[in-house]
Amino acid sequence: MTIDWTKSVVLVTGGTGSFGKKFIQMMLNEYHPAKIIVFSRDELKQHEMRVAGYDDPTLRYFIGDVRDKERLCRAFEGVDVVIHAAALKQVPVCEYNPSEAIKTNILGSGNVIDAAIDTGVKRVVALSTDKAVNPVNLYGATKLAAEKLIIQSNAYAAGKNARFSCVRYGNVVGSRGSVVPMFLKQRETGRLTITDERMTRFWISLEQGVRFVIRAAETMSGGEVFVPKIPSMTVADLAKAIAPRAQLEIIGIRPGEKLHEVLISEDEARQTIELDDMFVVQPAETLWFGREWENRGQHLPDDFRYASNTNTQWLTVEQIGRIIAPIEEDYNAGRLG
């Protein structure tokens, strides 16, 4: 069942982040919701958003933290759709501050679930990451736990309005904290540092990520993990696209970092349905989840694994250059950050 966005109240946790700002911009420009609420804990970032032009009459700015369930319940009153994007996502920060990552990414997600059920929210879409699959760092482990919380919460919401699903995708090109701004800065020195020439990553643009989340919100029945089909690139090719004449310095893989990323593991593949442009990971057999997706796509072959190094879609250096051109323009104009 689709969403009439013009009659919907939408709330975005982590609304001042890279994803949140792009989502809100596209909502205002294309979908025109009845109201959209920016929920975040940083008053300065909210002020900067408003000054930067995010001041539509339908916008509301709500100070709060996903760690605070009571505040979430207050914010969720009258809300139809929640996009849960709030998270601590920097791998080294999460490693050094594990309890803080757990409080935000796991306990905070639990609070979002409880608040949504208690206040009558209809749909919740939570953002996840490829690092949640076979995690090797705390960030990935917290996002895996958050995924499990979100999906299984549908069992508790059976008699309520709320339904919960996740979107899982790879690195967002040019997002806050990504490698692209770092490479652009290093280019000035003529030397770029990469961890391993063999390293591969899934990549998706911010706009593609937002559109995929909107699609998931519109098509979800509750309990799915939606995974887009997206291309891979090598980190070495990314460096060449940004600074073709720069020297590459190999510094070795950092703690908690993978050589290649996985979006769907072999074990998950057994309950995954493939469509033309995405995969839908269904929950294990449950009484509350229908299997309608099985009529829309096909099952995956045995031992299927959706990994960045065995992907069938690859970006060339030239294609990467075209993708990062607008990011480079924003960086040079001081708009990236």
Mean pLDDT over each residue of the chain, to the nearest integer: 94
pLDDT score for 1: 61
pLDDT score for 336: 64
List pLDDT tens digits, range 222-249: 999 999 999 999 999 999 999 999 999 9
List pLDDT tens digits, range 181-216: 889 999 999 999 999 999 999 999 999 999 999 999
pLDDT score for 98: 96
Query: What is the DSSP pairing of strand 123-129 with strand 59-63?
Result: unpaired
Is residue 285 scored above 80 in pLDDT?
A: no
List pLDDT tens digits, range 289-332: 888 999 999 999 999 999 999 999 999 999 999 988 888 887 78
For the chain, list the domains and their CATH numbers. 5-332 (3.40.50.720)
Q: The pTM is what? A: 0.94
pLDDT score for 331: 78
pLDDT score for 325: 87
> Which residue numbers are catalytic?
131
- Please give the average per-residue pLDDT across 44-58, as a whole number: 95
List pLDDT tens digits, range 69-126: 999 999 999 999 999 999 999 888 999 999 999 999 999 999 999 999 999 999 999 9
